[in-house]
A and B are shown apart, each in its own frame.
Chain A
Amino acid sequence: GAVVSQHPSWVICKSGTSVKIECRSLDFQATTMFWYRQFPKQSLMLMATSNEGSKATYEQGVEKDKFLINHASLTLSTLTVTSAHPEDSSFYICSAGGRQGAPDEQFFGPGTRLTVL
């Protein structure tokens, strides 16, 4: 149990376009979902925390108008990178938490590799 998927697994886009990444908890209801960004050979940096049905909480330095997060249901959160630029190229990872019986645990998705040309 506790499987989290992401789609797409990789995406290449042109500079200036927008890209949407989906994160789904497949076998449990996730009251909270998290979005991380990971640059090559670096650690995971939390971008934002989203709770189902409410606005996301962004970490300091993360532009909320550039990284739009929607958590419309207990099994789906989306991250949209708007007007993407080459410096947004990164590995984006989501996690889901709040599973019944494991309130403190986060279950991670496989990540999405974004390359902006």
Chain B
Amino acid sequence: GESVGLHLPTLSVQEGDNSIINCAYSNSASDYFIWYKQESGKGPQFIIDIRSNMDKRQGQRVTVLLNKTVKHLSLQIAATQPGDSAVYFCAENRDRYKLIFGSGTRLLVRP
């Protein structure tokens, strides 16, 4: 069935380095994508979103890239900090409100 998935289950980076978290989606009709950060025992926290009419969107220290040709989404975090350690999920907005979450990537930041 259609799904949103991630390539890497765990990513370990050195503090100060840039992080790149990837996500593949299979529904070519999806037009809205969101990245969430989830810390242990908490609900998902919105990071950044992008619509399908864009290839790139930047926020504070974060950039989301969308490649519709290969149905790939990535989240780039610049100058990764210890507070960035969490699980990151991409989500695909389907049927207007319905969100389909990817499997998640755990980001570990080494001091």
Contact = CB atoms under 8 A, between A and B. Distances in A.
Interface of A: 4, 6, 32, 34, 42-46, 49, 91, 93, 95, 97-98, 104-111, 113
B96 to A, nearest CB: 7
Contact of B97 (A43, A97, A109, A111): A97
A108 B102 CA distance: 16
A77 to B, nearest CB: 14
Given A34-B99, A108-B45, 4 more contacts: A42-B103, A46-B98, A104-B97, A108-B36
B43 A34 contact: no
A109 B101 contact: no
A34 B41 contact: no
B97 A106 contact: yes
Given A44-B89, A111-B42, A106 B103 contact: no
A43 B103 contact: yes
Contacts, number: 50
Interface of B: 32, 36, 41-46, 49, 89, 93, 96-104
26 contacts: A4-B43, A6-B43, A42-B103, A43-B101, A43-B103, A44-B44, A44-B99, A44-B101, A45-B101, A46-B98, A46-B99, A46-B100, A93-B43, A95-B43, A95-B99, A104-B32, A104-B93, A104-B96, A105-B49, A107-B46, A108-B36, A108-B45, A108-B46, A111-B42, A111-B43, A113-B41
Contact of B102 (A43, A109, A111): A43
Contacts of B93: 104
Contacts of B45: 108
Contacts of A34: 97, 99
A49 B98 contact: yes
A115 B83 CA distance: 28
4 smallest beta-carbon distances between A and B, as pairs: A108-B43, A43-B101, A44-B101, A111-B43
